[in-house]
Amino acid sequence: MDTPVQSTQHRLPYIMIIVIMVAIAIGYYLSRPATLRIDGNQLRVHTVEKNAFYEYINLDGRIEPATTYVIDSKIAGNVEQVYASSGQTVQRGDTLLRIGNADLELEVMQRESQLIEQLNAQRQTRLLLNQNDFNRREQLVEVNYQLALQTKQYNRDRGLLADGLIAMADYEPSANRYAYFQRRRELLTASLRADSTARERQLRQINSFEDRILTNLIAVRAILDRLYLRAAVDGRLSNFDVNTGQAITSGQRLGEIYGLENPNLTAEVDEYYLDKITAGQPGVIAGRNDSLKIEVTKIYPDVNGGRFRIDARFTNGAVSPGQFVKGQTLRFRLLFGEERASVLLASGPFYGDTGGHWVYRLAKDGADRIPIRLGRSNPNYYEVLEGLSPGDRVIVSTYDGFAEYDHITIN
């Protein structure tokens, strides 16, 4: 069965309605005024200028110490005296607190007493060796003296015997005493030589043993130094919250010391700039006449919540320790590119209405809408590439309510 075709005459009323509505819209558009009168007090106007320009972004950085020394207790005990407080500046070697531990002190005293006894025994042995060596040398001196006397007597009696003035019986006692002292000197000399060799070897052993005892004694006495917690470095004391009488354990974290001679500046940056920031990129601390300069030292590529982290350091000399504190926030400018002279337009809400493609430039009878092209930007200015010249006055406040007009009249 054939399908009936709807007649064109049935669609004609609908076509006429659409045509009428389009005609009404066109008529309204053509009949609206081409200009609008605006109260000048509602507008913010900026004069375009030519000046030095550099691209930068403002960031809030947090001061972090370059080095931090952790304070841990070396022994267990109770806090007897606290000598410092958190936030105080300390020097290397300053005493922070004293810990009481009676068991440790008693153990150190016992070990010290044992070592002193061993040291005294070694010194007594050295004394005996030296005394024996002295006695041997004294005996040798005496024998040499007696031998000298007997040598004179022996030579005299031998001459008398040769001349027949004395009998053999009178000569023999003198010869025997002479031979006795000669032999005695030989034996004492050999004995002294052997004793001296043994004595030197024993003294070396005694000296070595005494050195070990003294080293151990110093180490034992140093154990008591653990009762005194001292600053290992110069810096500022942080998180040091201890009270007298408080019980602490060995290895317990008691605080930290940080130095701020050349601190780090840590900041979070929008991920849009992840590929635009490089190590060594310069910056300046805002509000200090650009006297404090910084440079990026490290970029952390991990993005968290749409932001990533960078570290920077001061480049024009070390910062004095008292100039900043840990955790302090500093506003700084991170610079992009080189500074150069450019035509500048102040930033403002107009950019959100036009995307930087056009602006209202003031004329004699109001303001005209003109196309422009912008380049680099910073939080204060846009770099104008085309469309504006120095001296032009431009509305930089919002264009909400009149952005569709080519010309506006300003009261």
Phi first, then psi: give them for residue 350, nearest 5 degrees.
-60, -30
Rounded to the nearest angstrom, the gap between the alpha carbon of residue 330 and the centroid of all alpha carbons in its chain is 19
The identity of residue 4, as a single letter, is P
In what side-by-side order are the strands of the sheet with 247-248?
228-230, 95-100, 77-82, 247-248
Average pLDDT over residues 29-47: 72
pLDDT band at 23 (very low <50, low <70, confident <90, very high): low
pLDDT band at 30 (very low <50, low <70, confident <90, very high): very low
What value does the mean pLDDT of the chain take? 85
Flag whether pLDDT at 113 surpasses 50.
Answer: yes
User: Do the Cβ atoms of 234 and 92 come closer than 8 Å?
Assistant: yes
The secondary structure of 98-159 as a DSSP string is: EEE-HHHHHHHHHHHHHHHHHHHHHHHHHHHHHHHHHHHHHHHHHHHHHHHHHHHHHHHHHH
Of 35-39, 143-147, 161-165, 262-266, where does mean pLDDT reach its minimum? 35-39
Flag whether pLDDT at 375 surpasses 50.
Answer: yes
DSSP character for 44? -
DSSP character for 166? S
Domain spanning 58-64+259-338 has what CATH number? 2.40.30.170
Whether CATH 2.40.50.100 fits 69-98+228-258: yes
The DSSP bridge partners found for residue 362 are 367
The DSSP bridge partners found for residue 332 are 59, 285
Average pLDDT over residues 343-351: 92
pLDDT band at 25 (very low <50, low <70, confident <90, very high): low
Residues 6+ apart with CB under 8 A from 257: 68, 69, 71, 90, 231, 232, 233, 235, 236, 237, 238
Of 86-95, 116-125, 256-265, 397-406, where does mean pLDDT reach its minimum? 256-265
Sign of CA dihedral 78, 81, 87, 90: negative
Separation of alpha carbons 148 and 185, rounded Å: 11
Cα Dmax for the chain: 190
Flag whether pLDDT at 10 surpasses 60.
Answer: no
Flag whether pLDDT at 233 surpasses 50.
Answer: yes
**Per-residue pLDDT tens over the stretch 67-106:** 888 999 888 889 999 999 888 888 889 999 999 888 888 8
Separation of alpha carbons 254 and 242, rounded Å: 7
Closest residue by Cα to residue 286 from 348, 376, 377, 379: 379
Separation of alpha carbons 343 and 311, rounded Å: 33
Closest residue by Cα to residue 68 from 255, 296, 242: 255
Separation of alpha carbons 339 and 361, rounded Å: 27
Separation of alpha carbons 265 and 259, rounded Å: 14
pLDDT band at 13 (very low <50, low <70, confident <90, very high): low
**Per-residue pLDDT tens over the stretch 156-213:** 888 888 888 888 888 888 889 989 989 988 998 888 888 888 888 888 888 888 889 8
Separation of alpha carbons 400 and 411, rounded Å: 17
* Percentage of the chain exceeding pLDDT 70: 90
Domain spanning 32-53+341-410 has what CATH number? 2.40.420.20
Count CB neighbours of 201 within 10 A. Answer: 10
Flag whether pLDDT at 107 surpasses 90.
Answer: no
Of 30-39, 64-73, 105-114, 153-162, where does mean pLDDT reach its minimum? 30-39
Average pLDDT over residues 57-61: 91
Phi first, then psi: give them for residue 217, nearest 5 degrees.
-65, -40
User: Do the Cβ atoms of 408 and 37 come closer than 8 Å?
Assistant: yes
**Per-residue pLDDT tens over the stretch 283-330:** 888 775 556 888 999 999 899 999 999 999 988 665 666 678 888 898
pLDDT for res 31: 47
pLDDT for res 357: 93
pLDDT for res 55: 86
Cα atoms in the 13 Å half-sphere on the side-chain side of 332 = 30
